[in-house]
């Protein structure tokens, strides 16, 4: 049984195969109405549980549509309405759900909840985001980079802002897909040393540069995310805004990267905080391709989990 829990715990060969599959499935659907099924129906007769303990637009809709395109059915479950972790143990929920459904996707707070679900489920489990990582997003981002610029191997990716869970998965991807990674942000919001260490252990260049202008020199891709994540306390907002303002991705900063550099943001965004609307809607931006590719990349992940 194959769980998709994180990019650093999945083999580079399997990640590559999933991205290739995502490209192929996207190409095969070109011009089709979104509600039509794929020609290939590998999830026919399969039921997928989509569990959300945090809000979601992209993850919820893209998984739901993706499963249906592959011939399966979904049930969307809200963490609040379940007994998850309070009425019963995570392990018991995992065992029970495994008797009803063929696959579980979970978005939760603590990484431990995901790991316990995977340990005790007898069906594949997919990480739809935890406080620590967001691997499905970065699979879509790799697909997006490649469809615009070809292989990401050897390219320079710069993360500007908060070294959060999305940044963590980007660092894992740097190691697995072989691209260089520079983090630029305040020291208090540095990515965890473990994540930096993983990428370095794979032989790619990993840098931390406090000066955003220096960081983006020769960048092929600039990425940012919200300054306050879903799990951060509201009380942190003002301090974070003050700390992160110098790392806003605006047209001046974009102009210091390579002329053909791309801009990514996983969305939702706070326009004119972490990135200006001029950049988000400008010629370097591929943010809506990223959002679309959640659908295609996750279909590849679903197929991989089920061995199809
Ligand atoms: N990027 C992302 O995961 O979006 P949602 O929170 O809307 O699912």
Contact yes or no for 74/102 (Cβ under 8 A): no
With 80 as the cut, is the pLDDT of residue 203 above it?
yes
d(CA 112, CA 291) in angstroms, rounded, equals 27
> Closest Cα to atom 4, ligand 1: which residue?
58
At 1, the pLDDT band (50, 70, 90 cuts) reads confident
d(CA 134, CA 263) in angstroms, rounded, equals 18
Residue 54 Cα: closest atom of ligand 1: 6
Report the residue among 53, 56, 76, 167 best suited for mutation to probe ligand 1: largest number of ligand atoms under 8 A from its CB.
56
pLDDT reported for residue 85: 76
> Closest Cα to atom 3, ligand 1: which residue?
59
What's the 3-state SS for 145-175? HHHHHCCCCCCEEEEECCCCHHHHHHHHHHH
Q: Answer whether 267 contacts ligand 1 (Cβ < 6 A).
A: yes
H or E segment to which residue 215 belongs: helix 212-215
With 80 as the cut, is the pLDDT of residue 296 above it?
yes
- If you ran DSSP here, which 8-state letter would residue 206 be given? E
At 83, the pLDDT band (50, 70, 90 cuts) reads confident
Q: Answer whether 112 contacts ligand 1 (Cβ < 6 A).
A: no
pLDDT reported for residue 137: 98
pTM of the model: 0.97
Residue 134 Cα: closest atom of ligand 1: 3
Share of the chain above pLDDT 90, in %: 93
Q: Which residues are catalytic, by number?
A: 107, 134, 137, 225, 266, 294
Q: Answer whether 21 contacts ligand 1 (Cβ < 6 A).
A: no
Phi, psi of 194 (to 5 degrees): -60, -40
**CA 107 to ligand 1 centroid distance, Å:** 10
Q: If you average pLDDT over residues 238-252, what whole number do you get?
A: 95
**CA 57 to ligand 1 centroid distance, Å:** 6
At 307, the pLDDT band (50, 70, 90 cuts) reads very high
pLDDT reported for residue 195: 97
Q: If you average pLDDT over residues 278-282, what whole number do you get?
A: 98
> Closest Cα to atom 6, ligand 1: which residue?
56
Q: Answer whether 56 contacts ligand 1 (Cβ < 6 A).
A: yes
Phi, psi of 30 (to 5 degrees): -55, 130
Q: Answer whether 59 contacts ligand 1 (Cβ < 6 A).
A: yes
Q: What is the mean pLDDT of the chain?
A: 96
Report the residue among 268, 274, 290 best suited for mutation to probe ligand 1: largest number of ligand atoms under 8 A from its CB.
268
Contact yes or no for 307/2 (Cβ under 8 A): yes
Q: Answer whether 137 contacts ligand 1 (Cβ < 6 A).
A: yes
pLDDT reported for residue 164: 97
Query: pLDDT tens digit string along 12-53?
Result: 999 999 999 999 999 999 999 999 999 999 999 999 999 999
Q: Answer whether 8 contacts ligand 1 (Cβ < 6 A).
A: no
d(CA 305, CA 139) in angstroms, rounded, equals 14
**CA 51 to ligand 1 centroid distance, Å:** 14
State whether residue 223 is helix, strand or coil. strand
**CA 203 to ligand 1 centroid distance, Å:** 30
With 90 as the cut, is the pLDDT of residue 230 above it?
no
With 90 as the cut, is the pLDDT of residue 87 above it?
no
Could you tell me if residue 268 is left (phi over 0), alpha (psi between -120 and 50 degrees) or otherwise beta? beta
With 80 as the cut, is the pLDDT of residue 183 above it?
yes
**CA 54 to ligand 1 centroid distance, Å:** 10
Query: pLDDT tens digit string along 108-166?
Result: 999 999 999 999 999 999 999 999 999 999 999 999 999 999 999 999 999 999 999 99
Residue 107 Cα: closest atom of ligand 1: 8
> Closest Cα to atom 2, ligand 1: which residue?
58
pLDDT reported for residue 232: 79
Can you say whether the dihedral through the CA atoms of 169, 177, 188, 263 is positive or negative?
A: negative
């Amino acid at each position: 049984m194959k769980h998709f829990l994180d990019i650093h715990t999945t083999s580079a060969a399997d990640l590559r195969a999933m991205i290739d599959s995502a490209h192929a499935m996207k190409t095969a659907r070109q011009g089709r109405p979104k509600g039509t099924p794929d020609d290939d129906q590998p999830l026919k007769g399969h039921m997928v549980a989509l569990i959300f303990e945090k809000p979601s637009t992209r993850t919820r809709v893209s998984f739901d549509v993706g499963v249906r395109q592959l011939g399966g059915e979904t049930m969307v479950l809200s963490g609040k309405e379940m007994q998850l972790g309070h009425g019963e143990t995570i392990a018991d929920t995992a065992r029970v759900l495994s008797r009803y459904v063929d696959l579980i996707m979970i978005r939760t707070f603590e990484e431990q909840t995901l790991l316990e679900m995977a340990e005790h489920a007898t069906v594949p489990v997919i990480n739809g985001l935890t406080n620590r990582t967001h691997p499905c997003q970065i699979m879509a981002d790799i697909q997006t980079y490649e469809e615009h610029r070809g292989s990401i191997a050897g390219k320079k990716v710069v993360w500007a802002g908060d070294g959060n869970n999305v940044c963590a998965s980007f660092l894992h991807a740097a190691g697995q897909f072989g691209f260089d990674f520079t983090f630029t942000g305040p020291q208090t919001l540095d990515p965890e040393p473990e994540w930096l260490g993983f990428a370095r252990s794979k032989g790619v260049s990993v840098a931390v540069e406090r000066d955003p202008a220096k960081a983006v020199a020769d960048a092929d891709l600039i990425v940012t995310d919200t300054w306050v994540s879903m799990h951060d306390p509201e009380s942190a907002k003002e301090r974070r805004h003050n700390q992160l303002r110098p790392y806003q991705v605006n047209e001046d900063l974009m102009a210091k990267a390579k002329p053909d550099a791309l801009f990514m943001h996983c969305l939702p965004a706070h326009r004119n905080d972490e990135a200006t609307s001029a950049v988000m809607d400008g010629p370097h931006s591929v943010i809506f391709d990223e959002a679309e590719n959640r659908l295609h990349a996750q279909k590849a992940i679903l197929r991989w989990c089920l061995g199809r």
